[in-house]
Amino acid sequence: MPTSQATHVEDAVCRVAPTGDRAADAQRPAIIRTIELCKTYAGATGPAVDRLNLEIRAGEIFGLLGPNGAGKTTTAGMLTTRVVPTSGRAFIGDIDVVAHPALAKQLSGIVSQQNTLDRQLTVRENLYFHGRLFGINARTSRRTRTSCCNDSSSPTGPAPRSTHCPVAWHNG
Contacts of 38 (CB under 8 A, 6+ apart): 47, 49, 50, 51, 52, 85, 86, 87, 88
Return the higher-pLDDT residue of 157 and 48: 48
Q: What is the pLDDT of residue 96?
A: 96
The model's pLDDT over 27-86, given as tens digits with 9 standing for 90+, comes to: 788 899 999 999 999 999 999 999 999 998 887 777 787 888 889 889 999 998 889 999
Rounded (5°) CA angle 70-50-75? 55
CATH fold for the domain made of 1-100: Rossmann fold (3.40.50)
Is the pLDDT score of 92 beyond 60? yes
pLDDT tens for each residue of 97-139: 999 998 888 787 666 656 556 667 777 787 787 778 777 788 9
Q: What's the Cα-to-Cα distance from 107 to each of 81, 84, 104, 145, 160, rounded to whole Å?
A: 12, 18, 5, 16, 26
| Coil, strand or helix at 140 | helix
93 pLDDT exceeds 60?
A: yes
Q: Which residue has the higher pLDDT, 11 or 44?
A: 44
Backbone angles phi, psi at 47, to 5 degrees: -75, 145
pLDDT, position 23:
73
What is the location of CATH 3.40.50.300 in the chain? 1-100
> Is 0.85 surpassed by the pTM of this model?
no
Per-residue pLDDT at 4: 35
Q: Given this model, what pLDDT does residue 116 score?
A: 57
The closest alpha carbon to 81, from 118, 106, 50, belongs to 106
Greater confidence (82 vs 168) lies with 82
